[in-house]
Structure 1
Amino acid sequence: MGRAFEYRKAAKLKRWGAMSRIFPKLGRVITMAAKEGGPDPELNPKLRTAILNAKAQNMPKDNIAAAIKRAMGKDAAEIKEIAYEAKGPHGTLMYIECATDNGTRTVANVRAILVRNGGEMLTSGSLDFMFTRKAVFEFDKTDSIDLEELELELIDFGLEELEEDRLPQENGEDKEIIRIYGEFTSFGELNKALEERGIEIKKASLQRIPNVPLELAEEQMDEVSELIDKLEDDEDVQVVYTNLA
């Protein structure tokens, strides 16, 4: 997604955190995972990953516990994952991943936001060849990690690429991180291999990576960013992937 995206995203998450908007979104993912595979994260890898990502956003333990408890309730809402494909301004393409208990409401809200901001919904499958789904993990760079050795070891578990990056922090300094990519079918194997090597994973996800990244002028980027922000402000929208460079 690039450094500019990380800066925008960091500011967005900071605002969400202050408004407690992101916690309900994370809670839905935890509830879905717990309902699907059980409430014990040690026996439920999907739940373990959901909790990991929630902690990375400083979600309180009580909120996490409450989300798991909701999944075990007899009257728990049936939350489903739905992905919509869309076209935005200036040739941008978007995958809009949602978690919802009311698909009719969600698709109506997403369509309305797109139309009001120069976008449109596409038929399912339209972007199949425009994005590749990857398993993505992030962890802090430390002196104890030999990156060359780690890269060689992880190839056997589905690693495709390892990169170093720097992420902006609230104190104005950058933090050095390692990001690895693998086939989405290798998510479980890579996750286990990292855990077995004592590496503390900070983020883990299945992402949609654009096959042909799109470069935009700054003014065009601002317009697209505004649309993405409005989509992500919807309570059912979990994440928006684009073909932006």
Structure 2
Amino acid sequence: MAGHSKFKNIQFRKGAQDKKRSKLFSKFAREITAAAKMGLPDPAMNPRLRTAVQAARAQNMPKDNIERAIKKSQEAGGANYEEVRYEGFGAGGVGVIVEALTDNRNRTASEVRSIFTKFGGNLGETGAVSFNFDKLGAIEFAAAKATADQMLDAAIDAGADDVESSEDGHVVYCHPDQLHQVVKALEGRFGEPRAMRILWRPKTAVPVDEEAGQKLIRMLDGLEDVDDVQDVYANFEIADEVLERLSA
């Protein structure tokens, strides 16, 4: 287990701050409805639904909204969402993974392809990019909750695989199947996490300059604004001061 890695996943680190709250809640609601419809509408009996509900709660989504999303899954004639993953390349050869929940594959594919093309990217075949990422469970805690050593020790005891600690906070990584077990153990010591989810973390990062970075950031923002898109991941590395300018 490594105590720190410079290859942070940009989406997970800043995603919640970059999205409007209503947009974020809308994506959580769609995931909750889809998870409840694909399995049982009881989080205790449906691991995917439990993950979705816990992730929504960690971002302070109101209880009423969560319950309404679960109830929606049981309504007759409701949308049947399908999981779709797109893989492609952005400016500078950066690998991009887009995960979506859609009731119309043609519409979603068209919107995603259009955004890739608009900003100089291109879609690839399934597997063209994901081999360079690890699919992991991730739990985030505020920096004040523990020192880096305390979080690392607790994560090891909980069965996690990796920890990244910085002034922004701690991110604990584990196998997706172990997410609930690790969360439960860490909650006992540090309280409810700031965020949790299953994500794709890059194994390596592609350095990009400001010109390529500008196109890439605009493309990622455009993809996140698509209603059907749930998450976007990219394996790029860019200087913090350049990223701040581009995100302004």
Name the TM-score class by shorter chain.
0.7 to 0.9
Corresponding residue number in structure 1 for 2:175: 183
Segments of 5+ residues of structure 1 without an aligned counterpart are 168-176
Pairing 1:101-120 to 2, within 5 Å after superposition: 101-120=103-122
Quickly say closer, same or farther: Cα 1:7–1:69, change in 2 above 3 A: closer
* Length, aligned pairs only: 231
Distance 1:45 1:98 in 2: 19
CA-atom RMSD in angstroms: 2.6
Pairing 1:20-39 to 2, within 5 Å after superposition: 20-39=22-41
Deviation, structure 1 residue 195: 4.2
Say if 2:198 is the partner of 1:209. Answer: no
Corresponding residue number in structure 2 for 1:172: none
Q: Deviations over 1:188-226 (max 9, x none)?
A: 432343345563122221221112211112232122100
Say if 2:129 is the partner of 1:127. Answer: yes
Quickly say closer, same or farther: Cα 1:142–1:40, change in 2 above 3 A: farther
Quickly say closer, same or farther: Cα 1:115–1:32, change in 2 above 3 A: same
Deviation, structure 1 residue 160: 1.7
**Counterpart pick for 2:63 among 61, 64, 73:** 61
Contact 1:158 1:183 in 2 (8 A): no
Distance 2:151 2:115 in 1: 44
- Secondary structure at 1:21 match in 2: helix
Distance 2:183 2:193 in 1: 8
Q: What code does the residue aligned with 1:209 have?
A: R
* Structure 1 segments of 4+ aligned residues over 4 angstroms from their partners: 1-8, 145-150, 195-198
Q: What code does the residue aligned with 1:225 have?
A: I
Quickly say closer, same or farther: Cα 1:219–1:139, change in 2 above 3 A: same
Distance 2:217 2:226 in 1: 15
Q: Which moved further from structure 2: 185-194 or 84-93?
A: 185-194
Contact 2:95 2:234 in 1 (8 A): yes
| TM-score normalized with structure 1 length | 0.82
Quickly say closer, same or farther: Cα 1:202–1:60, change in 2 above 3 A: same
| TM-score normalized with structure 2 length | 0.81
Contact 1:132 1:210 in 2 (8 A): yes
Q: What code does the residue aligned with 1:211 have?
A: K
Deviation, structure 1 residue 239: 1.1
Pairing 1:190-229 to 2, within 5 Å after superposition: 190-195=182-187, 197=189, 199-229=191-221
Percent identity (aligned): 34
Corresponding residue number in structure 1 for 2:166: 165
Quickly say closer, same or farther: Cα 1:36–1:232, change in 2 above 3 A: same
Q: Which moved further from structure 2: 183-192 or 97-106?
A: 183-192
Corresponding residue number in structure 2 for 1:173: none
Q: What code does the residue aligned with 1:43 have?
A: M
Deviation, structure 1 residue 148: 4.3
Distance 1:201 1:231 in 2: 27
Deviation, structure 1 residue 233: 0.6
Contact 1:151 1:159 in 2 (8 A): no
Q: What code does the residue aligned with 1:77 have?
A: A
Q: Which moved further from structure 2: 22-31 or 231-240?
A: 22-31
Say if 2:100 is the partner of 1:98. Answer: yes
Q: What code does the residue aligned with 1:159 have?
A: A
- Secondary structure at 1:83 match in 2: strand
Segments of 5+ residues of structure 2 without an aligned counterpart are 1-6, 238-248
Quickly say closer, same or farther: Cα 1:138–1:122, change in 2 above 3 A: same
Deviation, structure 1 residue 104: 1.4
Deviation, structure 1 residue 36: 2.9
Distance 1:125 1:105 in 2: 22
Distance 2:90 2:131 in 1: 17
Corresponding residue number in structure 2 for 1:174: none
Deviation, structure 1 residue 141: 4.3
